[in-house]
């Protein structure tokens, strides 16, 4: 059982904690999930689903693949065309992959990548039921994508980069796998101001994408650093953590101070294009 005040220490520990939590979610049956307003547990105090947007109006939506773990609708904004190769980072049970497949059509290809074996198995089962032979799922880390360079027309991701300890490597990998002229649309959580230490150090808050968030300007700065063009903020919405969740980590006085502070938590969807080439942090070509 995860401890709510566990301190994040190493990359391996963070990854193992995230993998454990999302394995738990993947293995939970749908009826149990439906009976809980929060998906992963029987408590209504978890942070996994309070950020989710409504997918049901999108073509390709599959209820069995929707675990309510996202914080936006990146595929809706991704400008996917018929025949495109699309890569979904942190594909979970396959929801965004199936929506992307509706856009790219039978002549395209969709690759979902996730580091949790239970999620890969669940997503593949969903794809098999739908008889999709152009959607596949691969086990792997976002910092080292199991994909060849210059392969994707479009990269999408929904509230996953927060779970990646080294976000610099993640964006470098996105630049590597995109074709020149390709683009991404990514939904993620960012901050303005500094989270209280008790929230940032809580394992459950990290798995819920909040404690792993970085500053909004830093996030956008990483995208610029790796040579992406036409960076566009497609959507932004504030995320309000309910008092009943904050009470698991903060005292009443600390909650009051937190609400008076300048801290803001936002879901953003960012679009950017890969130019003809890009530069790594050391100045060498990553194309």
Per-residue pLDDT at 7: 40
Per-residue pLDDT of the chain (287 residues; tens, 9 = 90+): 233 333 445 777 767 777 777 777 777 755 454 433 333 444 444 555 566 677 777 888 888 888 877 888 999 999 999 999 999 999 999 999 999 999 999 999 999 999 999 999 999 999 999 999 999 999 999 999 999 999 999 999 998 898 888 899 999 999 999 999 999 999 998 989 888 887 776 655 555 556 678 899 999 999 999 989 999 999 999 888 888 888 888 899 999 998 999 888 889 999 999 987 544 444 444 44
Q: Strands (DSSP E) along 46-151, which ranges?
A: 85-89, 109-114, 135-139
Alpha helices per DSSP H over 72-157:
95-104, 117-130
Q: Measure the CA–CA gap between 111 and 78, rounded to whole angstroms.
A: 15
Residue boundaries of the structural domains of the chain: 11-274
98 secondary structure, DSSP code: H
Per-residue pLDDT at 231: 97
**Rg of the chain over all Cα atoms, to the nearest angstrom:** 18
Residue in 56, 100, 57, 97 with CA at minimum distance from that of residue 77: 100
Q: Measure the CA–CA gap between 141 and 166, rounded to whole angstroms.
A: 11
- Kindly report the pTM of this predicted structure: 0.83
196: left (phi over 0), alpha (psi -120 to 50) or beta: beta
Q: Measure the CA–CA gap between 152 and 128, rounded to whole angstroms.
A: 23
CATH 3.40.50.150 fits 11-274, yes or no: yes
Residue 236 φ/ψ, nearest 5 degrees? -145, 135
Q: Are residues 163 and 207 in contact, defined by beta-carbon separation less than 8 angstroms?
A: yes
């Amino acid at each position: 059982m995860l401890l709510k005040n566990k301190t994040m220490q190493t990359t391996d520990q963070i990854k193992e904690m995230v993998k454990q939590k999302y394995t738990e979610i993947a293995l939970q049956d749908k009826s149990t999930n439906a009976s809980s307003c929060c998906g992963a547990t029987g408590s209504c105090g978890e942070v996994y689903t309070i950020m989710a947007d409504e997918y049901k109006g999108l073509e390709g939506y599959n209820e069995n693949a929707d675990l309510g773990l996202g914080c936006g609708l990146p595929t809706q904004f991704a400008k996917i065309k018929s025949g495109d190769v699309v890569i979904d980072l942190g594909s979970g049970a396959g929801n965004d992959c199936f929506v992307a497949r509706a856009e790219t059509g039978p002549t395209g290809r969709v690759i979902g990548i996730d580091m949790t074996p239970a999620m890969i198995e669940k997503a593949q089962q969903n794809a098999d039921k739908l008889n999709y032979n152009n959607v596949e799922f691969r086990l792997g880390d976002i910092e080292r994508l199991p994909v060849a360079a210059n392969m994707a027309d479009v990269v999408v991701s929904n509230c996953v980069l927060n779970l990646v300890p080294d976000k610099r490597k993640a964006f470098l990998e996105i630049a590597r796998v995109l074709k020149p002229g390709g683009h991404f649309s990514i939904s993620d959580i960012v901050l303005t101001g500094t989270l209280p230490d008790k929230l940032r150090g809580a394992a459950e808050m990290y798995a819920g994408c909040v404690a792993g968030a970085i500053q909004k300007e830093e996030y956008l700065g990483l995208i610029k650093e790796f040579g992406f063009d036409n960076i566009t903020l497609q959507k932004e919405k504030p995320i309000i953590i309910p008092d009943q969740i904050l009470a698991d980590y903060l005292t009443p006085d600390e909650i009051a101070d937190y609400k008076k502070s300048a801290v803001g938590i936002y879901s953003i969807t960012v679009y950017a294009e890969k130019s003809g080439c890009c530069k790594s942090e050391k100045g060498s070509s990553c194309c």
